[in-house]
Chain A
Amino acid sequence: MLKAEAINTGNIKEEPKTNYLTNGYTLWSWLLTKDHKRIAILYLVTVSTFFALGGTYASLIRLELLTPNSDLLQSATYNRVFTQHGIIMVFFFLIPSIPAILGNFLIPLMIGAKDLAFPRINLLSWYFYMAGGALTLFALLQGGVDTGWTFYTPYSTTFSNSYVMAVGLGIFINGFSSILTGLNFIVTVHTMRAPGMTWFRLPLFVWAHYATSLVMILGTPVVAITILLMAIERLAHVGIFDPAIGGDPILFQHLFWFYSHPAVYIMILPGMGVISELISNFSRKKIFGYEFIAFSSIAIAVFGFLVWGHHMFVSGQSIYAGLVFSFLTMVVAVPSAIKIFNWAATLYKGQISYDTPMLYALFFIGLFLIGGLTGLFLGSIGLTVHLTDTYFIVAHFHYVMVGGQVLAYLGGLHYWWSKITGRMYSEFWSKIAAIIIFVGFNLTFFPQFILGYMGMPRRYASYPPELQVLNIFSTAGASILAIGLIIPLIYFTYSIFFGEKAPANPCLLPGLEWRTASPPPTENFEETPIVTWEAYEFGEESGLDLEDARNKYKVTV
Chain B
Amino acid sequence: MQTNSWVPLFPEQASTFAWQVDALYFYLILISIGFTIPIVVVIFFFFVRYREKEKFMTGAEIHGSIALETVWSIIPFIISMTIFLGGAIVYYNQYNPPTDSMEVYVVGKQWMWKFQHSTGQREINELHIPVGRNVKLTMTTEDVLHDVYIPAFRTKADVIPGRYTTLWFNATKPGKYHLYCAEYCGLNHSGMGGYVYVMEQRDFDNWLAGNESGQTPVQAGQDLFQNKLGCASCHEGGASQRGAKLEGIYGHEVKLTNGQTVIADDEYIRNSILNPGSQIVEGYQPIMPTFKGQVTEEQLVSLVAYIKSLSGNTSGTTMTKPAATPTMTGGTMTGSSMTNSNSTTAPRANRGDTNSQGSNPNAPPPTGEPTNQQQR
Contact = CB atoms under 8 A, between A and B. Distances in A.
A350 interface: yes
Interface in A393-446: none
B91 A243 contact: no
A221 B47 CA distance: 44
Interface string B135-174: 0000000011101010110111110111101000000000
Given A385-B91, A385-B156, A454-B1, A327 B84 contact: yes
Contact of B161 (A146, A154, A331, A374): A154
A386 B156 contact: yes
Nearest to A470: B7
Interface string A288-307: 11111000000000000000
A120 interface: no
Interface stretch (B62-70, B198-206, B213-221, B359-367): B62-70
Interface stretch (A185-193, A211-219, A458-466, A514-522): A458-466
B46 A348 contact: yes
Contact of A379 (B8, B21, B83): B83
A245 B72 CA distance: 52
Contacts of B191: 75, 462
Contacts of B145: 152, 154-155, 249
| Residue among A243, A362, A457 with max Cβ neighbours from chain B (10 Å) | A457
B359 to A, nearest CB: 19
B46 A319 contact: no
A350 to B, nearest CB: 4
Contacts of A466: 1-3, 8
Given A76-B187, A245-B340, A347 B56 contact: no
Interface stretch (A92-100, A167-175, A260-268, A338-346): A338-346
Contacts of B376: none
A334 B19 CA distance: 28
Contacts of B154: 385-386
Interface string A134-175: 000000000000111010101100111000000000000000
Contacts of B42: 344
Interface in B1-60: 1-3, 6-11, 20-21, 24-25, 28, 31-32, 35-36, 39-40, 42-43, 46-47, 50-60
A487 interface: no
A347 B50 contact: yes
B155 A75 contact: no
A315 interface: yes
A285 B56 CA distance: 11
Given A344-B46, A373-B35, A386 B64 contact: no
A29 interface: no
A380 to B, nearest CB: 3
B43 A362 contact: yes
Contacts of B91: 319, 322-323, 326, 381-382, 385
B62 A244 contact: no
A283 interface: yes
B47 A352 contact: yes
B50 A348 contact: yes
Nearest to A347: B46
Contacts of A362: 43, 47
Nearest to B142: A244
B345 interface: yes
A337 interface: yes
A245 B61 CA distance: 66
Contacts of A248: 162
Contact of A155 (B92, B182, B186): B186
B36 A288 contact: no
Nearest to A508: B56
Nearest to B343: A244
Contacts of B183: 152, 389
B347 interface: yes
Interface stretch (B73-81, B237-245, B299-307): B73-81
Contact of A286 (B55, B62, B189): B62
Given A243-B163, A385-B155, A338 B69 contact: yes
Given A382-B21, A382-B94, A334 B73 contact: yes
B56 A370 contact: no
A285 B77 contact: no
Contacts of A384: 87
A119 interface: no
A271 to B, nearest CB: 18
Contact of A460 (B40, B52, B144, B189): B189
Contacts of A374: 32
B336 to A, nearest CB: 10
B149 A455 contact: yes
Nearest to B4: A466
A370 B32 contact: yes
A552 to B, nearest CB: 10
B256 interface: no
A351 B58 contact: yes
B178 interface: yes
Given A285-B61, A455-B180, A382 B87 contact: yes
A463 B189 CA distance: 11
A453 B1 CA distance: 11
B62 A285 contact: yes
A194 B35 CA distance: 41
Interface string B247-271: 0000000000000000000000000
A353 B53 CA distance: 9
B88 interface: yes
B156 A376 contact: no
Given A75-B191, A242-B347, A350 B59 contact: yes
B344 A450 contact: no
B227 interface: no
Contacts of A347: 43, 46-47, 50
Contacts of A470: 7-8
Interface string B105-119: 000001000000000
B61 A373 contact: no
Contact of B68 (A345, A459, A463, A553): A345
B83 A380 contact: yes
A538 interface: yes
B376 to A, nearest CB: 25
B58 A284 contact: yes
B64 A288 contact: yes
Contact of B178 (A338, A381, A464): A464
Given A155-B184, A470-B7, A334 B77 contact: yes
A45 interface: no
A226 interface: no
Nearest to A447: B7
A551 to B, nearest CB: 10
Nearest to B75: A337
A448 interface: no
A285 B59 contact: yes
B188 interface: yes
Contacts of A381: 87-88, 90-91
Contacts of B59: 283-286, 349-351, 538
A388 interface: yes
A373 B36 contact: yes
Given A154-B144, A289-B68, A292-B64, 14 more contacts: A155-B185, A292-B69, A348-B62, A349-B62, A350-B50, A351-B58, A362-B43, A382-B87, A382-B91, A383-B87, A389-B182, A453-B25, A454-B9, A467-B8
26 contacts: A75-B187, A155-B186, A158-B144, A159-B186, A243-B161, A244-B350, A245-B343, A315-B158, A319-B92, A330-B83, A349-B59, A352-B52, A369-B35, A376-B32, A379-B84, A381-B87, A383-B90, A385-B154, A386-B154, A386-B156, A450-B8, A457-B190, A459-B184, A464-B1, A538-B59, A550-B54
Q: Which 6 A-B pairs have the closest CB atoms?
A: A455-B151, A243-B162, A382-B90, A285-B59, A380-B87, A349-B60
